[in-house]
């Protein structure tokens, strides 16, 4: 197996390098690589020159310990570790029926995982070491991070193997996690005792003169909590070593823990094949959805009554309906929960920062910030258009629709969602800020400003979406409609694409912007604040005409596109 695995690794690496070298002959690829390297170089230099925002290394170590504790607790109690056992589909096909022992399979997996671990070590050592304010030299720092990541990976694999084994024995539910629950009880008790020991002698006063976080940090260093948490602190303790000698002394226990984990994972001939196959299938599905930016369908229950499609009507309506239905049926509840969570954190932050009219102020500010974010990034995020249909171009081409109608329907789908979101957020933001007394402008001015802004935003959104869809149609290899595994060249490609898109958007916006501004300026004396609406309307119409010309041209290009090459 060693021989075969070595062959697989070396030949794959060699072929990958050869492919990259061949692609470098293409100017497009070389340019993307150049931009990617420049970007990463600037990031690296920025880290070296930036003397601010450094965290104390003890805080990093403390945070790492807590994070590790949370992760380990999650793996043991909830069993969210199955993916740790995943192999690639090719590995399942070739290695599982082959005469290979289970230990050899696990060793293979451990060696293969080093690729990701080494990449992480590289990123931390080159880009984040300075930010952490670590006093360690590059070498010892990289070794510490390698030991840490490897121990975490081995622990996750060990949990997955143990849970697979006890599942084989028919254990389920709480029975499967009783050990972890017992540990959590011990941990909570130890934390309570250590916190009490950090309290003033009377036990009645405030916790301590320091901040709660500092008290917690000190409690972690006080027995019995320090003893219970010792295994979680060991991998990161070398980070805090001020000298090479102390680093070496602290590295010893960390290496011992790593060795212990290796022994734990490899010690028994445990049956893990089925759990591995299940995890591999799940990972392959997740990977497929992630690459295609798909969400898991939430089911037909998301079909709303008002969204039902009548058989009569313009086909563009059917295209928009199809895309909107797809969006509604794939917006996951977890995504909505995450958004609500982010909103709650944002409001919390504003309440803390400005208690007076805090809720309204925070809501208003957040809503308006999001309008700005959506105006810039919305056309990249909302992709229920041609970009989501690039692998179905042959089907789209078979529909009895002109190119203009089809491309318009596709682009309008994203535009409708984007404009609706922006209109809702902008209205809510403006009303909230006015109620909070921050936007002290007369109501007509507020309404006129809002209307003008939304009109201009609609036109800009439409143009931005035309650019994104056009790029996907005309340069499919440049605009990735699927997320592909890639490296520096992808970073460079994305930078270049984003730069060109912004430039095009500015070019398209100049004419209508000037015209709209002129109209608003000329009408200002006669219709006062409503001149903004008139200017916005002229600007939006100008952008709309440009968008129509773009769509017409893209439609004709669509009719002449060979789906097999797109």
Partner 1 sequence: MIQVHGLTKLYGPLVAVQDLSFEVAPGEILGLVGPNGAGKTTTLRSLAGIILPTSGSIRIAGADLASEPLRAKAELAFIPDEPQLFDYLTVTEHLQFTLRLYRRAAEPGLIRRLLDDLELTGKQDALASELSRGMKQKLAIACGLVHDPRVLMLDEPLTGLDPVGIRRMKRTIAARARAGVAVVLSSHLLQLVEELCTRVLILQAGRRVALGSVSEIVGDRPELSGRGLEEIFLSLTGHEDETVP
Residue 412 contacts residue 316 (beta carbons within 8 Å): yes
Residue 465 contacts residue 375 (beta carbons within 8 Å): no
Q: What is the DSSP letter of 229?
A: T
Position 173 contacts partner 1 (CB under 8 A): no
Rounded-to-integer distance, Cα 432 and Cα 443, Å: 13
Nearest approach in angstroms of CB 97 to partner 1 is 4
Nearest approach in angstroms of CB 560 to partner 1 is 25
Cβ-based nearer residue to partner 1, 128 or 277: 277
Tell me how far the alpha carbon of residue 454 is from its chain's centroid. Answer: 29
Position 8 contacts partner 1 (CB under 8 A): yes
Cβ-based nearer residue to partner 1, 112 or 357: 112
State which of residues 54, 58, 67, 101 lies at the interface with partner 1 (CB under 8 A): 101
Nearest to 128 by CA among 116, 138, 118: 138
Nearest approach in angstroms of CB 381 to partner 1 is 29
Tokens 């898109």 -> residue: 501
Q: Which stretch in 88-96, 139-147, 182-190, 211-219 sits in contact with partner 1 by CB under 8 A?
A: 88-96
Rounded-to-integer distance, Cα 61 and Cα 285, Å: 35
- Quote the tokens at residue 552: 């017409």
Burial, 415: exposed, middle or buried (Cβ in 10 Å; 0-12, 13-18, 19+)? Answer: buried
Position 12 contacts partner 1 (CB under 8 A): yes
Residue 460 contacts residue 509 (beta carbons within 8 Å): yes
State which of residues 29, 96, 478, 553 lies at the interface with partner 1 (CB under 8 A): 96
Position 245 contacts partner 1 (CB under 8 A): no
Position 559 contacts partner 1 (CB under 8 A): no
Cβ-based nearer residue to partner 1, 82 or 250: 82
Nearest approach in angstroms of CB 3 to partner 1 is 5
Rounded-to-integer distance, Cα 451 and Cα 552, Å: 28
Rounded-to-integer distance, Cα 96 and Cα 91, Å: 7
Cβ-based nearer residue to partner 1, 14 or 189: 14
Residue 207 contacts residue 192 (beta carbons within 8 Å): no
Termini Cα distance of the chain: 41
Nearest to 451 by CA among 550, 518, 538, 391: 538
For partner 1, how many residues bind (rule: CB under 8 A)?
28
Position 189 contacts partner 1 (CB under 8 A): no
Position 3 contacts partner 1 (CB under 8 A): yes
Cβ-based nearer residue to partner 1, 12 or 477: 12
Cβ-based nearer residue to partner 1, 104 or 541: 104
Cβ-based nearer residue to partner 1, 273 or 435: 273
Residues 6+ apart with CB under 8 A from 31: 492, 496
Cβ-based nearer residue to partner 1, 99 or 201: 99
Position 471 contacts partner 1 (CB under 8 A): no
Residues 6+ apart with CB under 8 A from 561: 393, 397, 473
Nearest approach in angstroms of CB 191 to partner 1 is 38
State which of residues 50, 210, 274, 285 lies at the interface with partner 1 (CB under 8 A): 274
Position 369 contacts partner 1 (CB under 8 A): no
State which of residues 43, 45, 98, 196 lies at the interface with partner 1 (CB under 8 A): 98
Position 19 contacts partner 1 (CB under 8 A): yes
State which of residues 27, 51, 53, 90 lies at the interface with partner 1 (CB under 8 A): 90
Cα atoms in the 13 Å half-sphere on the side-chain side of 348: 6
Position 92 contacts partner 1 (CB under 8 A): yes
Residue 523 contacts residue 534 (beta carbons within 8 Å): yes
DSSP string, 457-501: HHHHHHHHHHHHHHHHHH-TTTS-SS-----HHHHHHHHHHHHHH
Q: Which stretch in 15-23, 288-296, 324-332, 528-536 sits in contact with partner 1 by CB under 8 A?
A: 15-23
State which of residues 277, 441, 447, 474 lies at the interface with partner 1 (CB under 8 A): 277
Nearest approach in angstroms of CB 23 to partner 1 is 13
Nearest approach in angstroms of CB 270 to partner 1 is 11
Cβ-based nearer residue to partner 1, 7 or 192: 7
Give backbone dihedrals phi and psi of 65, rounded to 5 degrees, phi first.
-65, -45
State which of residues 54, 271, 282, 392 lies at the interface with partner 1 (CB under 8 A): 271
Position 273 contacts partner 1 (CB under 8 A): yes
- Quote the tokens at residue 385: 């258009």
Output the CA–CA distances (angstroms, integers) from residue 356 to 87, 441, 519, in the order listed.
Answer: 55, 19, 40
- Quote the tokens at residue 399: 């529909």
Cβ-based nearer residue to partner 1, 20 or 127: 20
Cβ-based nearer residue to partner 1, 97 or 299: 97
Would you tell me which residues interact with partner 1 (CB under 8 A)?
1, 3-4, 7-8, 11-13, 15-16, 19, 88-90, 92-101, 271, 273-274, 277
């Amino acid at each position: 197996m060693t021989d075969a695995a070595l062959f697989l690794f070396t030949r794959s690496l060699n072929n990958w390098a050869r492919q990259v070298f061949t692609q470098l002959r293409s100017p497009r690829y070389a340019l993307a690589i150049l931009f990617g390297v420049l970007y990463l170089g600037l990031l690296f230099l920025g880290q070296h020159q930036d003397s601010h925002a450094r965290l104390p290394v003890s805080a990093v170590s403390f945070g790492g310990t807590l994070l590790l504790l949370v992760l380990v607790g999650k793996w043991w109690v909830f069993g969210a570790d199955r993916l740790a056992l995943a192999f690639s589909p090719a590995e399942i096909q070739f290695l599982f029926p082959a005469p290979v022992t289970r230990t050899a399979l696990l060793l293979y997996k451990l060696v293969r995982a080093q690729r990701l671990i080494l990449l992480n070590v590289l990123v931390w050592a080159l880009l984040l070491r300075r930010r952490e304010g670590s006093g360690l030299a590059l070498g010892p720092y990289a070794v510490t991070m390698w030991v840490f990541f490897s121990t975490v990976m081995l622990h996750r694999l060990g949990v997955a193997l143990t849970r697979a084994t006890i599942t084989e024995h028919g254990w389920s539910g709480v029975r499967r996690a009783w050990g972890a629950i017992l540990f959590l009880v011990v941990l909570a008790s130890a934390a309570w005792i250590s916190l009490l020991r950090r309290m003033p002698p009377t036990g009645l006063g405030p916790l301590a003169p320091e901040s709660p976080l500092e008290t917690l940090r000190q409690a972690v260093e006080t027995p019995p909590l320090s003893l219970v948490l010792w295994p979680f602190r060991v991998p990161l303790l070398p980070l805090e070593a001020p000298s090479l000698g102390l680093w070496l002394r602290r590295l010893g226990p960390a290496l011992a823990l790593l060795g212990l984990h290796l022994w734990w994972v490899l010690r028994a001939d445990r049956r893990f094949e089925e759990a591995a196959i299940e995890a591999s299938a799940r990972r392959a599905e997740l990977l497929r959805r992630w690459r295609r930016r798909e969400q898991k369908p939430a089911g037909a229950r998301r079909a709303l009554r008002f969204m039902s499609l009548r058989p009569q009507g313009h086909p563009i309506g059917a295209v928009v309906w199809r895309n909107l239905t797809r969006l509604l049926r794939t917006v996951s509840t977890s995504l909505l929960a995450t958004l609500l969570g982010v909103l709650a954190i944002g409001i919390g932050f504003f309440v803390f920062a400005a208690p007076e009219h805090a809720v309204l102020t925070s809501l208003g500010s957040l809503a308006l910030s999001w309008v700005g974010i959506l105006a810039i990034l919305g056309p990249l995020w909302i992709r229920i258009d041609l970009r989501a249909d690039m692998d179905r171009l042959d089907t789209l081409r078979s529909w009895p629709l002109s190119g203009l109608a089809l491309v318009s329907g596709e682009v309008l789908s994203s535009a409708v969602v984007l404009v609706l979101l922006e209109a809702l957020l902008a209205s809510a933001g403006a009303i909230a800020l006015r109620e909070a007394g921050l936007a002290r402008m007369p109501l007509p001015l507020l309404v006129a400003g809002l209307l003008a802004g939304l009109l201009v935003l609609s036109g800009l959104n439409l143009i931005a979406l035309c650019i994104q869809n056009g790029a996907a149609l005309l340069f499919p290899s440049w605009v990735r409609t699927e997320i592909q595994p890639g490296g520096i060249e992808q970073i460079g490609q994305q930078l270049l694409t984003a730069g060109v898109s912004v430039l095009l958007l500015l070019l398209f916006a100049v004419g209508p912007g000037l015209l709209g501004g002129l109209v608003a300026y000329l009408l200002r004396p006669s219709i006062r604040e409503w001149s903004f609406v008139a200017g916005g309307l002229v600007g939006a119409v100008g952008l709309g005409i440009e968008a129509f010309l773009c769509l017409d041209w893209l439609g004709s290009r669509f009719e002449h596109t060979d789906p097999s090459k797109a």
